[in-house]
Structure formats: structure tokens, C-alpha cells
Structure 1
């Protein structure tokens, strides 16, 4: 999902915003491509023409109207077979390992990966949406599996990489710091 204009970031197209020296869409796409996902699609909108140009020839593009996340996701889901894993482009620290874990956790229906809202607050990133589940306040991470029916399973992750969505400059600063540390660790161990 990479059709957001990034108005809260106020720095151009959101998917192209750089975290750790790389556009968020490139970081997410690298995670998807190195995971067990067979086929990837980029869901774009008229709000992201530069993103479309960047992705052209790299991945099939599904262009939506740009009417908002839920409307665009629904339009995209009408054009692919289910189940489908969805990941937002503002989740720049997602990895193939996290995607594969989500695939392993999926049984049927819908799987929504959430993080404790308190984790987001402790990390200093914005909280946009919350939901109560099992006596806890959770925030959706932007990593989900959508199946044929609406029966939803909630998977709670305590992994900070899934708690950092970049919606504001303050979120970007936290993501950038984490990316520099994590990217340095990956280079040190050769992965």
C-alpha cells in the first residue's frame, strides 16, 4: 500500500520519504521480495506519480483512486486472489523475517498484526488508531493478511520494528535512528 500523499510528513510523496538513507518503499519492497511472498503488487494512487515511476517495471502496479486507505485497499483486493498479505509503505523497518512470521501465523479469515499502544508511546512515535483487545490497548501495525471471510484473528507483536509507522517528522526521526542501528547490525553480520 503506497498511495498516500504524506501530508502530515509534508515532505513530498510518502512512499519516497527516506529512512536510513533509502526511500521507505524500497525498504518495504526489499523485505517483501526476500520473504516467502510469491507475487507482490504496489497499490498506488494519483497522489503518488513519482512512486509509480520509481516502481514501474519492478513490480505490478494497481492504481486506485486515492480516496483513503480502506477504500484503496478494498479496490486493490478486488483485483487479486486471496489470501493476500498487505503491508503499508510507511512501515520501513519491516523485514522478510517479520513477513514470514505473519505468513506462518495465518490460518484463515483475516489476520491483523497489532502492537501494544504503550510500546508506540514509549518509542515516541505517533498513535493514530487504537483498539481494545484482551484488556489491552493495541495499535494496528499495517501488516495484515486478508482472506476470503471476515473472521479476524489479532496477533500481538512486541517487536519495535512493527511499531514504527512514519506519518510525521517526529516518527521519521525515530525510524531513522532505528534504521541506522539495524542496518549497521545487518552489515556487521553479513545479512
Structure 2
């Protein structure tokens, strides 16, 4: 998902093209997917852009992915638009998760393919306390089993039941939404 305007970030470039450690965030996410089982299992990678990200669309011409032009009506609507055009189950990930790594994607795939999951969806979350301890922004949270959780933007969309996968991996705690998040990602990237 790389169609957001990134107004909170205040960058001069489109949000997916903001660099973290010298590499555009969208490329960092695509590289993690390419090195994960998503690619090695023969999965296709789709990049969902919008009218708000024409430079990102152009940038993706050189990448091994299929570009989907969503209407740009917001994350949820654009995600729904994209999901209508692919087969499930599908891994979804936001472009502003620049510390994503192949082993994280593989762990989530393992969770999604557990025999007791029956092809259901998996929402990956981190405790809000982990994000706050790092100094990462918390925009949306909810409580589960007495713990405040924050969606990471990495999910598996499958069947109708949704399971939560809680991770304490700090790399999933940094969504680059604001300048402070960008600085944090720069500090933590390898």
C-alpha cells in the first residue's frame, strides 16, 4: 500500500519515496517481500498507488511488481479496491514500515498458515507501550486481553475470522508518519 499523501510527515517528496538510510521506504518494503517466502513461494507482489502518488507509480516501473491504480479515497477504501483484484490469502503491508525484514514476513506467514488458522486473516500488532518506549507515534490503538495494541500495517487477509498476532519486534513499531518517526527509523535501520 503506497498511495497515501503523507501530510503528517511534511516531506517534499511523496511518502513512499521518503528515504530511510538512503533507500526509499517503498523499496525497503519491496526488498523485504522479495527476500521472504512471499516471493520464494511464487507469490506476486502488487504495489497499490493512488492519484496522490504519481512519482511513486513512476518509480515502481523499475521494480518487479504489478502496479494497481486505486482511486485514492483513503487507506481502507484503497485496500478494499486492491483486494477485489487479487486472490486471497494475501499479505498486505504499508510502505511506511521501512524496517520490515524478510524474517518478520516469514514469521507472519508461519502464523497465518498454522493448521488451526484455516486460512483466516491475521492482523499483526505491537503493544503501544513498545512504540511509546521507542518514541514512535501512536495514532490508532485498541485493547485486547487488557493490553493496548497498535496495528503495524502488516497483515494477512484470508478468511472471515481475524486473529491477532502480537509482536514485540521493534522493527514493526516504526511506521513513518511524522518527522520524529523518520528520525527514529534512521536511527534503527541497519
Secondary structure class of the residue paired with 1:122: helix
Among 47, 54, 57, the residue aligned to 2:52? 47
The alignment's TM-score, normalised by the length of structure 1, stands at 0.92
1:131-161 Cα shifts (integer Å, max 9, x gaps): 1101100000110000132x11000000000
Shift in Å at residue 57 of structure 1? Answer: 4.5
1:71 aligns with 2:77: yes
SS in 1 for 2:26: helix
Correspondence 1:177 to 2:165: no
1:25-64 → structure 2 map (5 Å cutoff): 25-37=26-38, 38-58=43-63, 59-64=65-70
Instruction: Report the secondary structure of 2:126's partner residue.
Output: strand
Distance in 2, Cα, partners of 1:82 & 1:57: 26
Counterparts of 2:169 and 2:135, CA distance in 1 = 15
CA deviation string 1:168-188 (max 9, x = no partner): 000000000001xxx2xxxxx
- Cα shift readout 1:91-145 (whole Å, capped 9, x = no counterpart): 0000010001100000322100000001000000110100110110000011000
Instruction: Return the alpha-carbon distance in structure 1 between the equivalents of residues 159 and 45 of structure 2.
Output: 18
Residue from 119, 123, 132 that aligns with 2:130? 119
1:187 aligned partner: none
Q: Which sections of structure 1, spanning at least 5 residues, go unmatched?
A: 184-191
The ranges of structure 1 where at least 4 consecutive aligned residues each deviate by more than 6 angstroms after the TM superposition are: none
Structure 2 unmatched runs, 5+:
none
2:167 corresponds to 1:157:
yes
Cα distance in structure 1, aligned partners of 2:169 and 2:132: 14
* Pairs aligned (count): 179
Does residue 103 in structure 1 map to residue 109 in structure 2?
A: yes
TM-score (norm 2): 0.92
